[in-house]
C-alpha cells in the first residue's frame, strides 16, 4: 500500500497562503459538510487548522460555537479579525493538531478540512488520538484527506518519510494515500468511520480527488 509525501518549494509557505486567503469565504463543499453535521444546539465545534476562518460562518449557521486552532500566527490574526468583524461565535487560538489545548470530551463536532494531510505520520497519529480524546461520546468528526491519484501530488517534490520536517507546518508537506490506508489509520485511533465520500473535480492539469470521512466517537 503506497503512500506519497511531497514538499513544496521555497515559494510556498503557510503564512503566504494565509495572506492570499484572507478574504476568501467557505467553499460550497465546506458549507455542505458543515450542514451535514448534526445541528450544534450551541455546543462546541473545533476547527483544526482553521486557517483564515472560512469555516466559522457555516459552522455557526448550523448552531455551533467554534474554537479554531492553527500554528501559523498570520492565520490566527486574520481569523480573529474575521470573527470580530463578522460578529461570529468563533475563538481562534494558536495550537497544533497533535497537542490540542482542549478538555477531554468537550467537543461535539470536529472539522478538519485541508489540514490532516499536511501532517507528518507521527503528528497525524497523535492528532487522531487527540481528536478522539476531545470529542464527546457520540460526537462527530469530518476528516479530509487526499487520494493517491490526485494530480496535485505532482506539485511538490516527492520526499522520503525520514525527510519530513518536524514540526511539519514549517514547510508545506502533503500526504497522498489510498482510501484503505486512511481508513486503517483512522480506525487505529479508535474513531469509527460512518461513511467516506470521494469528491472528484477536473482542473486543466488533471483530476482532484478529495476524501471526506464522516466519523463518530462511539465510546
Ligand atoms: C490548506 S490550509 C486549510 C485552512 C482551512 N481549514 C480552510 O480550509 O480554509 C491548511 C491549514 O493547516 C494548518 N496547519 C498546518 N500544520 C498544522 C498542524 N500541525 N496543526 C494544525 N494546523 C496545521 C496551516 O497553518 C493552514 O492554515
Please state, in angstroms and rounded to a whole number, the distance separating the CA atoms of residues 186 and 177: 13
Please state, in angstroms and rounded to a whole number, the distance separating the CA atoms of residues 211 and 183: 10
Please state, in angstroms and rounded to a whole number, the distance separating the CA atoms of residues 119 and 203: 25
pLDDT at 9: 81
pLDDT for residue 117 is more than 70: yes
Ligand 1 center to residue 169 CA distance, Å? Answer: 8
What's the CA angle centered on 60, arms 54 and 62, to 5 degrees?
A: 115
Please state, in angstroms and rounded to a whole number, the distance separating the CA atoms of residues 123 and 169: 10
Q: Could you give the percent of the chain with pLDDT greater than 90? A: 97
Ligand 1 center to residue 104 CA distance, Å? Answer: 22
Question: What burial class does residue 11 get, using C-beta atoms within 10 Å of its C-beta: 0-12 exposed, 13-18 middle, 19+ buried?
Answer: exposed
Q: Report in angstroms the alpha-carbon separations of 185 from 81, 143, 182, 193.
A: 35, 12, 5, 11
Q: Of all protein residues, whose CA lies closest to atom 10 belonging to ligand 1?
A: 115
Give the position, in ligand 1's atom list, of the atom nearest the Cα of 97: 20
8 Å CB contact between 71 and 123: no
pLDDT in tens, 6-19: 999 877 899 999 99
Residues in contact with ligand 1 (CB, 6 Å cut-off): 14, 48-51, 54, 70-72, 75, 96-97, 113-115, 118-119, 123, 167, 169
pLDDT for residue 209 is more than 70: yes
Domain residue limits, the chain: 14-144+180-216
Pocket mutation for ligand 1, best pick of 17, 46, 70, 113 (most atoms within 8 Å of C-beta): 70
Give the position, in ligand 1's atom list, of the atom nearest the Cα of 112: 6
Tell me, yes or no, if the pTM score tops 0.85. yes
Give the position, in ligand 1's atom list, of the atom nearest the Cα of 26: 9
Q: What's phi and psi for 44, nearest 5 deg?
A: -90, 140
CATH topology of domain 14-144+180-216: Rossmann fold (3.40.50)
Please state, in angstroms and rounded to a whole number, the distance separating the CA atoms of residues 26 and 202: 20
pLDDT in tens, 80-105: 999 999 999 999 999 999 999 999 99
Please state, in angstroms and rounded to a whole number, the distance separating the CA atoms of residues 130 and 144: 16
What mean pLDDT do residues 71-80 have?
A: 98
Amino acid at each position: 500500500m503506497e503512500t506519497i509525501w511531497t514538499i513544496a518549494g521555497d515559494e510556498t509557505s503557510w503564512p503566504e497562503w494565509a495572506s492570499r486567503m484572507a478574504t476568501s469565504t467557505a467553499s460550497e463543499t465546506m458549507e455542505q459538510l458543515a450542514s451535514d453535521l448534526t445541528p450544534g444546539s450551541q455546543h462546541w465545534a473545533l476547527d483544526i487548522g482553521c486557517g483564515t476562518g472560512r469555516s466559522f460562518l457555516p459552522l455557526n449557521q448550523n448552531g455551533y460555537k467554534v474554537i479554531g486552532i492553527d500554528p501559523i500566527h498570520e492565520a490566527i490574526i486574520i481569523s480573529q479579525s474575521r470573527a470580530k468583524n463578522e460578529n461570529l461565535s468563533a475563538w481562534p487560538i494558536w495550537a497544533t493538531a497533535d497537542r490540542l489545548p482542549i478538555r477531554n470530551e468537550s467537543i461535539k463536532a470536529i472539522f478538519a478540512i485541508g489540514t490532516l494531510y499536511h501532517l507528518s505520520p507521527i503528528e497525524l497519529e497523535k492528532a487522531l488520538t487527540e481528536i478522539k480524546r476531545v470529542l464527546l461520546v457520540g460526537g462527530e468528526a469530518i476528516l479530509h484527506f487526499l487520494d493517491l491519484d490526485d494530480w496535485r501530488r505532482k506539485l511538490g517534490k516527492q520526499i522520503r518519510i525520514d525527510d519530513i520536517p518536524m514540526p511539519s507546518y514549517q514547510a508545506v508537506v502533503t500526504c497522498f494515500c489510498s482510501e484503505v490506508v486512511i481508513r486503517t489509520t483512522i480506525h487505529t485511533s479508535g474513531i469509527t468511520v460512518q461513511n467516506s465520500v470521494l469528491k472528484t473535480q477536473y482542473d486543466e492539469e488533471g483530476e482532484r480527488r478529495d476524501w471526506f470521512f464522516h466519523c463518530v466517537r462511539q465510546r
